[in-house]
Amino acid sequence: MKTLLGILLLTATSLSAYDYALKPVRVSSDVHCFFGKPEIMDKTNNGNIVNSCYIDAGEGYVVVDTGPSYSYAESAYKAMKKIKSLPVKLVINTHIHDDHWLGNNYFTEQGIRVLGTDDFKVNADMSEPTRMQTYISSEAYAKTKPTLPSEMISSDTTLNIGNQTLELKIAKHKAHTAKDMVVFLPKSKVLIAADLVFNDRLPSVRGGDINGWLTALDDLDKLGAVHVIGGHGNRTDKDAARMTREYFTQMRNEIRSAIAEGLGIDDTIKKVTMESYQQYKLYEGTHRHNVEASYRVLEWE
């Protein structure tokens, strides 16, 4: 009996102590980020496929996207405290996809505010198991409790936290999701663009709108950011959005041409292969669905 109890205690301890061994990357003097792998979530990467950033506001950190699990959020904060031991003052969720916010309860259990858009009220399905709960290991998912933002906004907002001004801007139209929010730091010209910007892997427009996405990218250009940090991919210079923009621009042009020729959706999918983008990760599992989703939007123009 004692042996069995010991095994159970050891198992419980290991479940609560999963460490992603995350390493922060300095993007600017006041921003460090964790960059995920260009992969689909599975029991090997345990959802470490997304970018999460910490803004140094002097008196504390602002966290932008908490990642795929409680353990991920805990691992990231432990790594940041080795750089500078600051409390977390605020957490921001950029959109409703669960790889970006399932670490929330690590912070809410400490009484930390979590801010997101009011899209969470409408489109975050809390009745079904999350993708992460389904696809990553139970060890990595342990202690994760899907927790929505404690505060929600419906329009652009400016916050002053410590020595930072944060401009929270919401895309005017449906883009990657119904409401995509970005964080701009005017002092250092850093733009945390979340999933409006992909590089290293293809973006996914399923559930979004190709026209709204391209409009959102045009709006982000007007900010004049020096560093642009996407939700997936390691590139962070001012041209980090180039691949996303060029990919969707070419796709839209080719789909419009196919529609003008009278091609249906199946023939358009076969025609619009855009082979030059096969070099990017997840082409096989993403591109065809992007063409299909975009055709359904563009055929009604």
**Sequence spans of domains, the chain:** 18-240
- pLDDT tier for residue 240 given thresholds of 50, 70 and 90: very high
**What does the block give as tokens for 245?**
């923009």
pTM above 0.85, yes or no: yes
Backbone angles phi, psi at 248, to 5 degrees: -75, -30
Strands 61-64 and 227-232: unpaired
**What does the block give as tokens for 272?**
């619009």
Q: What's residue 3's pLDDT?
A: 45
Cβ pair 51, 229 in contact under 8 A: yes
Q: Which residues contact 96 (CB under 8 A, 6 or more apart)?
A: 116, 119, 120, 123, 124, 177, 178, 179
Q: What's residue 284's pLDDT?
A: 95
Q: Given a cut of 60, is residue 69 above it in pLDDT?
A: yes
Q: What's residue 17's pLDDT?
A: 63
Q: Given a cut of 70, is residue 176 above it in pLDDT?
A: yes
pLDDT in tens, 107-155: 999 999 999 999 999 877 777 889 999 999 999 999 999 999 999 999 9
Q: What's residue 126's pLDDT?
A: 78
Across the range 4-14, mean pLDDT stands at 42
pLDDT in tens, 12-37: 444 456 999 999 999 999 999 999 99
CATH architecture, range 18-240:
4-Layer Sandwich (3.60)
Comparing CA positions, the residue from 115, 127, 121, 140 lying closest to residue 20 is 140
Q: Given a cut of 70, is residue 288 above it in pLDDT?
A: yes
In the block, which residue shows the tokens 């996914």? 204
Percent of the chain topping pLDDT 90: 91
Q: What's residue 15's pLDDT?
A: 45
CA distance 167 to 126: 29
The DSSP secondary-structure symbol of 173 reads S
- The CA dihedral of 27, 29, 30, 35, to the nearest 10 degrees, is 20
pLDDT in tens, 184-222: 999 999 999 999 999 999 999 999 999 999 999 999 999
CA distance 25 to 78: 14
Helices 283-298 & 242-260, crossing angle to 10 degrees? Answer: 50
Please provide the average confidence, as pLDDT, over all residues in the chain: 94
What DSSP assignment string belongs to 241-258? THHHHHHHHHHHHHHHHH
CA distance 175 to 4: 52
The amino acid present at 120, given as its one-letter code, is F
